[in-house]
């Protein structure tokens, strides 16, 4: 059985989204794609996959010494640009909606394997934002895995 690595789920989420039927022209961006880029140069429409943190689960289930149950949060942020209705942002939000549906359909309830638990939708820690014709809609997904000192 494959052992999960701490940040290994990112690549699996990116691959899953890239293989999905996203609306025409939508790109999937990883943290690596975002690290040196300026927002103005990033493609839109896109889905940006970002690590959102973790917590250790202590639910009373016995685990061997040196093991921990980790629950990670991963964000998939939909980004679109549409300046037809720049003040209200309705056009940008309307363009974002099919991409939002595709992200939810692709990730919610998906079991990535490799020791990672099923992704489940969660409330993101930040809300949607529309500014200067760009709309950003964050989605959060949590997954649990057992991590040992031998995790590689």
Burial label for 72, CB within 10 Å (0-12, 13-18, 19+), is buried
Alpha carbon 134 to chain centroid distance? 19
Residue 104 inside a domain? The answer is: yes
User: What is the mean pLDDT of the segment spanning 16-42?
Assistant: 86
Is 68 among the domain residues? yes
Asked if the structure places residue 39 within a domain, the reply is yes
What pLDDT does residue 149 have? 61
Please indicate, yes or no, if residue 3 is contained in any of the structural domains.
Answer: no
Q: Residue 75's domain is classified under what CATH number?
A: 3.30.2000.10
3-state secondary structure of 37: coil
Q: What share of the chain is helix, strand, coil (3-state, %, to 5)?
A: 25, 35, 40
Residue 99 domain-assigned (yes or no): yes
Q: Express each pLDDT in 78-135 by its tens digit.
A: 999 876 666 666 677 778 889 999 999 999 999 999 999 999 999 998 998 887 778 8
- The pLDDT of residue 57 is 83
The answer to whether residue 2 sits within a structural domain is no
Residue 129 lies inside a defined structural domain of this protein: yes
- Write out the two tokens for 10: 């990112």
pLDDT at 152: 46
pTM, to two decimals: 0.86
Number of domains composing the chain: 1
What spatial distance separates the first Cα and last Cα of the chain, rounded to whole Å? 12
- Parent domain of 134: 9-147
Phi-psi region of 74 (alpha: psi -120 to 50; beta: other; left: phi over 0): beta
Q: What is the pLDDT of residues 50-82, one digit of tens each?
A: 999 999 887 666 666 667 789 999 999 999 987
Higher pLDDT, 139 or 148: 139
């Amino acid at each position: 059985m494959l052992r999960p690595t701490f940040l290994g789920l990112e690549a699996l989420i990116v691959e899953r989204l890239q293989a999905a039927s996203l609306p025409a022209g939508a790109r999937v961006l990883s943290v690596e794609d975002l690290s040196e880029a300026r927002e103005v140069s990033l493609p839109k429409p896109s889905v940006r996959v970002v690590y959102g943190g973790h917590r250790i689960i202590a639910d009373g289930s016995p685990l061997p010494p040196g093991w921990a149950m980790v629950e990670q949060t991963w964000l998939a942020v939909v980004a679109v640009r549409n300046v037809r209705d720049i003040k209200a942002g309705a056009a940008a939000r309307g363009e974002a909606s099919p991409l939002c549906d595709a992200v939810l359909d692709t990730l919610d309830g998906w079991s990535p394997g490799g020791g990672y638990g099923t992704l489940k939708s969660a409330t993101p820690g930040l809300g949607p934002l529309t500014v200067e014709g760009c709309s950003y809609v964050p989605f959060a997904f949590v997954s649990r895995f057992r991590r040992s000192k031998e995790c590689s």
